[in-house]
Chains A and B, each alone.
Chain A
């Protein structure tokens, strides 16, 4: 889940809606897809831009913690798999920026907002990747949590977003399986490898739970997004589902979830578990996580250092267009 705390609009009751808004809501309720050229409430458009933009930024910044291990991957095959994964994430960013563009905002505008801090990306990518086991933990837990959120979003009301999610989900499940395969090798490996695997789970467990955003009680913006089918499930529902899915997977690996309060609750048919430290979450969101500065600096540096490159390409395209035009005129 790469969209956390996306600001939505205040929920309107049916009586407060204009006839246009009522008709729009009816279409959403019937499960129709909204397409770019069609009328939509301004709040719907703005909320979608914020959410899709944040999701796109997360894919882009998400290249960094895993890119960190490409040059150190332990076998040629692992290196190829990791390269392909990071490449997929950049591709996800591209689909999502394209989806956002259909709402009238350019990729450059969104990039600028990311760099100025006006837009956020998922808190998870502000945690460091310290050992090779982290490549396993990120695939297993982080891609796993992303899938949990994105599978329902395939049914979101906005057509281009829904289609982007369908493409992305296929690749994310590859990523999760590959991550789990790394964890498996480590967990059944030497004592040092097993220690790295447990340590990676210890460090990534709570940050993964944070990916779903704060508890529903504090999520003031959910109701309108849910009515618009921009958000399909509540944060707590998804977090519960994630825990219920992940605990048996950890048991299978022979690793322990770092939570003394974790136990099966027969009555609710799910696990009871400890909440992550939400004050840490808000600090990370504010920019005070372990890697916020590194991540942002890396992105801004890539952008600034590449300015001459992009300008060179624009200038060439313009010259070429000019030459073509001149050639056409000459031929007439």
Chain B
């Protein structure tokens, strides 16, 4: 229960980047990318609540979702400050439509079976952890502060999802077949995590975040070693990669997520909950 209240950061540290007008448009976009991926993946994971294959999984997945919603509150909260138009984390989460959402496509893909859910989590966690580790050294104290908090949770997520990939990959024939199929299904979406555009270049140049392409080697190493231990085949280069989430070009799935997530805020404008 203590976790639920940790979203807001009291007495934020001084950070000149937050009020840097020249940087604001790119910084805002980048923060939305961080927050939206956490929000949309958290939403997907939370769909399992009460429906997982074992009680321990119900608990673990609620925990992951809870962490990700906590990250969302921090990233989107900071995004609202940088934007400086009076929007808070809730306004950004609940009152933007799909075109303004900046999450990775990987995060919005349907849960499928537990194999898809766990593999999606693992592919995301491996990059999430590598990214947050570097962000703890960001020149922006606010970004570094959020990353320092989030990386502890992301490290646990990665540990857990790697462990499950190994156990299910090297489990029964069926569990192996399902994990391999999940990997194949998700593989076209991994490249999006490492493509840099003008937004990434601007925040990288300012020293706020790494260039996403710099994360690829570390991610590949993690993925390669876990898949090897899991006795799963690492697919070759993705061929035609599915991208576009971070600039607002999504799959058909996101619209339904938002319709569900935003229903109350849209149906009762201005109500307080």
Contacts and interface: CB of A to CB of B under 8 A. Distances in A.
The finding on whether chains A and B are genuine partners in a shared complex, rather than unrelated, reads yes
Interface residues of B, number: 57
Interface of B is mostly: helix
Most A C-beta atoms less than 10 A away, residue of B47, B73, B174, B273: B273
Given A185-B273, A193-B268, A80 B47 contact: no
Contact of B69 (A80, A91, A190, A319): A80
Contacts of A174: 1
Interface of A: prevailing SS = helix
Given A76-B76, A93-B55, 6 more contacts: A70-B49, A71-B43, A83-B65, A189-B272, A190-B268, A314-B171
Interface stretch (B56-64, B102-110, B137-145, B187-195): B56-64
Interface string A103-144: 000010000000000000000000000001000000000000
B1 A306 contact: no
A63 B48 CA distance: 11
B51 A302 contact: yes
A74 B62 CA distance: 18
Contacts of B263: 72
A79 interface: yes
A128 B185 CA distance: 36
B141 to A, nearest CB: 23
Contact of A301 (B51, B63, B166, B268): B51
B7 interface: yes
A87 B66 contact: yes
Contacts of A63: 49-50, 58
Interface in A196-226: none
Contacts of A70: 46-47, 49, 65
B273 A75 contact: yes
18 contacts: A71-B47, A74-B94, A76-B90, A77-B90, A84-B1, A85-B1, A87-B59, A90-B50, A94-B56, A171-B1, A298-B51, A303-B53, A308-B172, A309-B114, A311-B172, A311-B174, A314-B171, A315-B175
Which 3 pairs from chain A and chain B are nearest by CB?
A306-B53, A312-B175, A312-B171
B170 interface: yes
Contacts of B3: 80, 84
Contacts of B7: 76-77, 80
Interface in B1-41: 1, 3-5, 7, 39
A182 B66 CA distance: 19
B59 A91 contact: yes
Interface in B77-128: 89-90, 93-94, 113-115
A292 to B, nearest CB: 16
A193 B268 CA distance: 9
Nearest to A78: B273
Contacts of B51: 67, 298, 301-302
B198 interface: no
B217 to A, nearest CB: 29
Interface in A213-258: none
Interface in B160-211: 166-168, 170-172, 174-176, 178
B245 interface: no
A67 B76 CA distance: 24
Contacts of B148: none
Given A76-B90, A84-B3, A192-B268, A319 B52 contact: no
A80 B66 contact: yes
B202 to A, nearest CB: 27
Given A306-B114, A312-B168, A298 B53 contact: no
B232 to A, nearest CB: 13
Given A71-B261, A76-B72, A76-B90, A316 B49 contact: no
Nearest to A111: B55
Contacts of B271: 74, 189-190, 192-193
Nearest to A61: B50
Given A71-B43, A84-B66, A312-B168, A76 B89 contact: yes
B69 A313 contact: no
A2 interface: no
A5 interface: no
